[in-house]
Structure 1
Amino acid sequence: MNRQELFDIAHGWFDSKGWIPFPFQIQTWNAFLQGKHGLLNAPTGSGKTYALWIPIMLDYIKKNPNYKKKHTPGLKAIWITPLRALSIEIKQAAERAANDLETGLTVGIRTGDTSTAERSRQKTKMPDLLITTPESLQLMLASKGYDKIFKDCTTMVIDEWHELLGTKRGVQTELGLSRLKAIAPKMRIWGISATIGNLNQALEVLLGPESDTFENSILIKAHINKKIKVISIIPEKMDTYPWRGHMGLHLIDEVAKIIKASRTTLVFTNVRAQCEIWFQALLEKYPEFAGDMAMHHGSISRETRQWVEQAIRDEQLKAVICTSSLDLGVDFAPVETVIQIGGPKGVARFLQRAGRSGHRPGQESVIYFLATHAMELIEASALKKAVKETVVEDRVPYLNSWDVLVQYLVTLAVSDGFYPDTIYKEIKNTFCYQAMTEDNWAWVLNFITKGSQSLEAYDEYKKVEIEEDGRFVVNSKTVALRHRMQMGTIVGDAVMNVKFLGGGYIGSIEEWFVSKLHPGDVFIFAGRKLELYRTKNMEVLVRKASPSAKAQHASWMGGRMTLSAQMSELVRQELYAANTDVMSPELRALLPVFKRQRKESIVPDADEFLIETFKTREGYHTIFYPFEGRFVHEALASLMAYRISLLMPITFSLAYNDYGFELLSDQYVDIQQVLDNNLFIPQYLHHDLQNSLNATEMARRKFRDISVIAGLVFTGYPGKVVKTKHLQSGSQLIFEVFRDYEPDNLLLQQAYRETFEHQLEEGRLILALERIQSHKIRWMPCEKPTPFSFPIITDRLREKLSSETLAERIKKMTANYMK
């Protein structure tokens, strides 16, 4: 069958559905059938799934001209998705095409949700097309005779590649691909990516920089002008002194109005606690939403989440309050409107969420932006511009993740074993390990067989044995079992399952939150008031609490997001525009805030850097405004405090948000003297950060995750999970041993490197300092706090006060400052 005949089949199927294929779909079919590898960049809801399922099926038809009568069994294509929630939809799309084209191809799913019975069936008879996750692929590589399963596989598709890139799951995928390329050399590798800035690098990471695959590859961009309409919800009355505490709930009536006017609305919050609070608040104020509104976040039980997803498709729900758990690919045609509560902190995330509405080619997406406090309107204005100019973040890939490599090698040793020379060549061809030296490789092999030089005395770290023929294998059944149970690179806080006393699983919450509760305490979770009965074996047993009981909301760690580098740049540009006549409606709404700010201080220009100082009853405040995002400010605050303390004996308490940071002290700081001593020089940054931040403590926390991934500590068997504090103390002990006796240990070095590169964003810090240095420093001694400083001050108060007391205190402060 020639290409034209194959294309006729595809076009015929599209016609039968009343569709017309996009140019990018045809281009992808063409490239695929020519045997190319590639990366397809297309917006959400543009038909990218069929851009690859169709040519996979056409390729099968071409190789089996008698396909309607005789089916050739065996695994032909693997589709990797980062989210289990997407697998059902991808399966439905594949089955629709496979059945209509009468190919006889079977489609299966293998994720953490797949039943044991289904997995056993797959062992004896693999589906033709398999949808799986990076973790499940690694588990398949840990089974005996895996090469027989994969040897005839013709295609590997990695969906939502932008979500995996820049994470250790992405590294895990790179390693899996390096093995499969060797087993099935004719296999085509394709990635699908939506919003991402560094597309060429994304392709290079996917295929490996040196490989032949990279030579024979193509980057396809879908030139679809996706219309996105961004509408800011602007409050009628603007707080002159903005603060972040009310979660945007003062605009609840506006949100209810939008929900009532739309067929289906997704309301995105940034964190799970905010999701719970908004759901509860809407239900209390608008009881008529009961039954028409649901909640969706990662800690709610799978059954509930799947029910919610289906109910959206069936148009049974008017509104869903959700977190990033609904960010990706789930195809909801009925969603008419999206509301984003609070700044999403990144352009890519915002575009992804906007794309949930009008999820059909050619349809307009509508997203409302609700600022939780006045300053976030600057973010709203910046996002509008970003959407217009499609400015999107880069994803920075990981390099030399030794913990993931250690886990991968033990995986291979658990299955059929491996020969080091063969595997070394494969791994050297990946992006992550391209700079690995033979010494590094020797260290890693030594680590899995002897447990590194400082742990050689302990047998539990000697996991892999070397056979006479030089093959590395795991012979111990206990080691193999423990390894299979702990595979994966997502390391979070220990989670505990929440169950009703009479049975019935509700979801999971983090151990640290439960540890603060006593039996009889009431908390709100998954939209219900629950009373804690007791905790047992990592299970939280609860019963329904009385509706009138006083309750606290469940909360999660890692709740605070930070502005991305691109978003910070956009926010600064918008802020500088406040000094011009060209202002967006959002900036115009902020005029009362800017007016007050100018009365007390200034609104900085593009070539100015603002520092404000004032005295209150709390002490002497010094506030810096880099507008670089929370994490960068956290590091900068410590750095500035350290550098100032070198000039004078002084102690500070620190506070920061996305716009700036504060140093608070009980003694006066002479800013001019400090500025004369090169406060902002990028030189010595690494040294000063190490001294100022207690980098060892941060690296120690980072090392816990690394030691779990590398299998140095065991997280426990099902139902008998090791408590976080025990994991922490176990990994801390190993950290101390490595630090004192083996400072060149690769895992120890990785803990420090990840702390500086990923947590403290050292590269961004250097750029921020260079930018500040080139600007004119405007030091403004103020009489009282300014509108810009107010969110930072109130953020610090929040740590000490309950929300009611905080609101009262802020009211008094505002009245006082307005005098």
Structure 2
Amino acid sequence: MTHASLPPEITEWFVQREWRVRDHQQAMFDASEAGRHALLVADTGAGKTLSGFLPTLAAFVPSQLQGKGAPDGLHTLYISPLKALAHDVQRNLLRPVEEMGLQLRIETRSGDTPSDRKKRQRGRPPHILLTTPESLSLLLSYPDSFELFSSLKRVVIDEVHAFATGKRGDLLALSLARLQAIAPDMQRAALSATLGNPESFCEWLAPWGDLDSVALIEGEKGAAPQVDILLPDRERVPWGGHAGTWAVPQLYEEVRCNRTTLIFTNTRFLAEFIFQKLWDVNEDLLPIGIHHGSLSREARRKVEGAMARGELRALVATASLDLGVDWGDIDCVVQMGAPKGSSRLLQRIGRANHRLDQPSRAILVPGNRFEFLEATAAKEAVDEGERDGEAFRTGGLDVLAQHIMACACAAPFDEVELLGEVRSSLSYAWVDEDVWQRVLHFVATGGYALEAYDRFRRIIRDRQGVWRLTHPDHAARHRLNAGIIVDAEMVQVRFRNGRALGKVEERFAATLGPGDTFSFAGMSLEVEQVKDMDLFVKATSRAAMIPSYGGLRLPLTTHLSGRVLALLDDRAGWNRFPDDVREWLEMQDWRSQMPAPGRLLVESYPHGGVHYTTYYTFVGWNANQSLGMLITKRMEEQGLQPLGFVANDYSLAVWGLKPVIDPAPLLSPDILAHEFVEWIENSYLLRRAFREVAVISGLVERQQPGKRKSGRQVTFSTDLIYDVLRKYEPEHVLLKAAWADARARMTDIGRLGDMLDRASEQLVHVTLDRVSPLAVPVMVMIGRESLPQGAADDALLLEAESLANAAMMPELSYR
């Protein structure tokens, strides 16, 4: 590809900033000039965002306009997975626009944008609109969307790895297909720092499967990150637990030494918990903030502004801030607990310094010994530049139904034309005529079992064969309820004066009464009243518990689990581990065997008068939970009298009144074809999946004019419909969609199937007289799973010592 000349205004601006145009920035501009779409994979701090916007800036420089004013109309869409990222990009884009004197109007649009501004944006759009996949889909549901997007020249998708492989990616893929139909010459650009499989993302980005139309651009390499693993000063690496509270004093000293420290946690609970622990030791009263998705918009904006101004010494956050936010004064990033993937870790590390030529500094704080191994594996993957690759899945039918409804709200449509448009995206290229007609029939009537009810009749085909809304009210109802993110039932936390602090889960709020206290948004709060969907509170100095949150845990990636297994199998490499970790592994190797790549280790042993079996699967918590359900069911059929099970990312411990003599029959692959199907159909899991697809598809509405249904009301409605469909229409399109969700996302069924296939050939069963050293971390979780993580740390330590003494008993003679 020949190099195109950047306009002189842009070249001079780079010179004035004492910057140079990096090779990947030039390549992105060249691709645009050649009329190609582009995927840029570049390290954090490499100027990715500017690379994506260079063609847009070039179109508005004076030399390009040749004395004419800036044209009206929307020129560029920027799609972000996070609202915070869109606001950050707007702030950073304004500098080059102002310094070059460009007549460019830049605005953001999200669920937080005031309604009057949203209306004005459709009538008089800015040149650059920064938005999210959900807000874009809503824009496309308006009749004026055809005029609004007719001038569109470019779409920039930032942090594409964060959502392209999920349902938000399905929605965006459908929206891109519609935009391409409205503006055929529109160019697509996607940006990411952490893609392990860029070729797959090129296929996703390409319209009509035209892979040759997408340029894959690799960024210049930056300074290697500096990653350290924090170890206890005087204590040993803990056996169990995930909170890492042992590290709080050392962590506080790190905060004192730095200008700004960004502390990431994997859950909202842990964010609140670590924040409170830091404040307990904050003798210097350093300004420390907290940020997670359950906090109110005002609270999040306040913290983001304080960080941007350099007013905070530390910020505790979840994934709500690990994408692209450019705060150059962050000295160090801390990851509390295991990172669960090298790409996720690399993304978070990049928040430090955020400059390509300066190394980012990060500290990993493992909560237990397995997490130390996982942290080591992740650090080595980052050092070697290896990233996780997340596979694409077929697009969800519930998302397709929502998109069809959005198209009907915008204008009547021809089903043949719309099907061709839908198939132009990789996510839905698989949709055949039969599937298409079934989804259309669902959107039109709700399906065979529900078509007698008028409220499910949303679209109808007229005599000309064109589909249109049955009533204009359906458009307003769609816009109130459209979206992909289905939160758990949430209750608003607010003071009596009306000020909202954010939301906690309804099931947690249901346990509270007047006078109870809990920590939230960095404050200790006392409950005054629970009324409808509001939890009224006042500030208090009394000790408080931490809210628990449901939802799925971050999965351990296949790539990282393979690396942990390799560490366990590399006995020569154990010398670089801390003494207590090395002794733990050596004692395991002496007393039993080690898990290894291609080998499934199963151990059976008595403890406390009960027979235990531990399976070292390394397939992640979700898959292990599913496997525990299935194994206990088979144990019941075999008369082994199971009593329970507990799981972590690495292993599964099951106990019963009778010993497991041969685990192979419990792990035969046909368990997924028989017990799994029966279990899923009769479990809450499928009902939960159905609840989500029913909301996304528009079958059940969460929001009505002036009123929002409670989580209980939504669940009641979806359960009622679920039972009707199971009985009268078991092949309903939403039951199929719920099944796909339950299999692919909620149980990691693919990884579980691979593990069971491996077990049939490479299972090693060891019978012991007591608990093994490697089993201690999962065994200490027994009886603690119902408690919030971190809240039972003291009890965990006592239990761990007892188990460890039993597991390591021969240690003296061995030494």
TM range, normalised to the smaller chain?
over 0.9
**In the aligned structure 1, how far is the partner of 2:520 from the partner of 2:217?**
44
Which residue identity does 1:591 align to in structure 2?
Answer: R
* Alignment counterpart, residue 252 of structure 1, candidates 226, 248, 259: 248
Between the aligned partners of 1:662 and 1:352, the Cα distance in structure 2 is 33
Q: Distance in 2 between matches of 1:376 and 1:750?
A: 35
Q: What amino acid maps onto 2:477 in structure 1?
A: R
TM-score under structure 2 normalisation? 0.94
- Offset of residue 487 of structure 1: 0.8
- Go from structure 1 to structure 2 and tell me whether the alpha carbon gap of 1:576 and 1:457 turns closer, same or farther (over 3 Å shift): same
8 A contact 1:77–1:156 mirrored in 2: yes
User: Is the 8 Å Cα contact of residues 532 and 543 (structure 1) preserved in structure 2?
Assistant: yes
Q: What is aligned with 2:775? A: 789
In structure 2, give the amino acid aligned to 1:275: A
> Who is 1:47 aligned against?
47
The code of the aligned residue for 1:49 comes to: T
Deviations 1:76-123 (A, max 9, x none): 111111111011222233332333333312111111121223223223
Q: Which SS does the other structure have where 1:383 is aligned?
A: helix
Q: Is the 8 A contact 1:238 1:589 kept in 2?
A: no
Q: 2:259 aligns with which of 248, 259, 263?
A: 263
The equivalences for 1:375-454 within 5 A come to 375-454=370-449
How far does residue 627 in structure 1 lie from its aligned partner after superposition? Answer: 2.0
Q: 1:534-580: CA deviations, max 9, x gaps?
A: 122311111112x1x24211121126323111111111111112x22
Aligned amino acid, residue 133 of structure 2: P
Pair 1:70-2:69 in alignment: yes
Indicate yes or no: 2:785 matched with 1:799.
yes
Displacement of 1:807 in angstroms is 4.5
Equivalent residue letter for 1:572: L
Q: 1:209 Cα shift?
A: 4.7
Distance 1:23 1:105, change over 3 A: same
Distance in 2 (alpha carbons) for counterparts of 1:241 and 1:76: 55
Task: Indicate how the Cα distance of structure 1 residues 65 and 260 shifts in structure 2: closer, same or farther if over 3 A, else same.
Answer: closer
Partner of 1:204: 203
Pair 1:238–1:667, CA change in 2 (3 A): farther
User: Aligned pair 1:574/2:567, yes or no?
Assistant: yes
**Matching of residue 151 in structure 1 with residue 138 in structure 2:** no
- Asked if the contact 2:780/2:799 (under 8 Å) is kept, the reply is no
- 1:739-750 alignment, distance < 5 Å: 739-750=726-737
CA contact (8 A) 2:574 2:582 kept: no
Q: Aligned partner of 2:270: which letter?
A: Q
Aligned pair partner of 2:649 in 631, 641, 658: 658
Counterpart contact for 2:491–2:503, Cα < 8 Å: yes
Deviations along 1:238-265, whole A, 9 cap, x unmatched? Answer: 54871116x2111212111211121111
Alignment of 1:84-233 (within 5 A): 84-211=83-210, 214-233=211-230
User: Is contact 1:54-1:97 (8 Å) kept?
Assistant: no
State how far apart, in whole Å, the 2-side matches of 1:664 and 1:18 are.
66
Aligned with 2:282 (options 278, 282, 286): 286
Contact 2:771 2:803 (C-alpha < 8 Å) held by counterparts = no
Structure 1 counterpart of 2:813: none
Q: Relative to structure 1, is the Cα distance of residues 390 and 240 closer, same or farther in structure 2, using a 3 angstrom cutoff?
A: closer
| C-alpha RMSD over aligned residues | 2.3
Aligned equivalent of 1:274, options 264, 270, 276: 270
Q: In the alignment, which of 466, 471, 494 is matched to residue 466 of structure 2?
A: 471
| CA distance, structure 1, for counterparts of residue 768 and residue 693 of structure 2 | 46
Matched, 1:563 2:550: no
Q: Post-superposition shift, 1:61?
A: 4.9
The structural deviation recorded for 1:278 is 1.0
- 1:288-687 to structure 2, matched below 5 A, reads 288-290=284-286, 292-545=287-540, 547=541, 549-558=542-551, 560-577=553-570, 579-580=571-572, 582-583=573-574, 585-586=576-577, 588-598=579-589, 600-606=591-597, 608-617=599-608, 619-648=610-639, 650-671=641-662, 674-675=663-664, 677=665, 679-683=666-670, 685-687=672-674
Give the letter aligned to residue 112 of structure 1: G
| Percent pairwise identity | 30
**1:797–1:806: 8 Å Cα contact kept in structure 2?**
no
Pick which of 15-24 and 398-407 moved more. Answer: 398-407
Give the distance between the partners of 2:484 and 2:334, measured in 1 at CA.
Answer: 32
Matched to 2:757, the amino acid is E
Distance 1:420 1:115, change over 3 A: same
After superposition, give the CA deviation of every residue in 1:197-232 in whole Å (9 maximum; x if it has no partner): 221111111224535xx4322111113144111101
Per-residue deviation, 1:369: 0.8
Verify the 8 A CA contact 1:393 1:566 in the aligned structure 2.
yes
CA distance in 1, matches of 2:539, 2:425: 52
Task: Tell me the alpha carbon deviations over residues 438-471 of structure 1, each in whole angstroms, 9 at most, x when there is no partner.
Answer: 1221222222222211111100000113344333
CA distance in 2, matches of 1:800, 1:812: 21
Aligned-pair CA distance for 1:816: 6.1
Does residue 764 in structure 1 map to residue 751 in structure 2?
yes
Moved more, 496-505 or 456-465: 496-505
CA shift at 1:283, angstroms?
A: 1.0
Structure 1 partner of 2:812: none
Work out whether residues 339 and 367 of structure 1, in 8 Å CA contact, stay in contact via their aligned partners in 2.
yes
TM-score, length of structure 1 as denominator length: 0.94
Match of 2:675 in 1: 688
Letter in 1 for 2:9: I
Find the aligned partners of 1:54 and 1:584 in 2 and give their Cα distance: 50
In structure 2, give the amino acid aligned to 1:200.
E
Q: 1-side partners of 2:751 and 2:798: how far apart? A: 38
In the alignment, residue 85 of structure 2 is paired with which amino acid?
L
- 1:385–1:311 CA distance, 2 compared to 1 (3 A): same
Whether contact under 8 Å (2:227, 2:362) holds in the other structure is yes
Using the TM superposition, give the Cα deviation of residue 192 of structure 1 relative to its aligned residue in structure 2, in angstroms: 1.1
Partner residue of 2:712 out of 708, 725, 735: 725
**Cα distance in 1 between the residues matched to 2:3 and 2:614:** 66
Long gaps (5+) in structure 1: none
Residues 165, 395 of structure 1: 8 Å contact kept: no
| CA shift for structure 1 position 67 | 4.7
In the aligned structure 1, how far is the partner of 2:647 from the partner of 2:64?
Answer: 65
Matched residues in 2 for 1:240 and 1:118: separation?
Answer: 54
Q: Is the 8 A contact 1:608 1:778 kept in 2?
A: no
Does the 8 A contact of 1:178 with 1:427 survive in 2?
yes
**In structure 1, what is the equivalent of residue 232 of structure 2?**
235
Alpha-carbon separation, structure 1, partners of 2:21 and 2:5? 16
Range moving further from structure 2, 753-762 or 318-327: 753-762
Give the C-alpha shift of residue 493 in structure 1.
0.8
Is there any run of 5+ residues in structure 2 with no aligned partner, and where? Answer: 810-815
Cα distance in 1 for partners of 2:494, 2:237 equals 46
**Contact 1:271 / 1:559 at 8 angstroms: preserved in 2?**
no
Change beyond 3 A, Cα 1:593–1:569: same
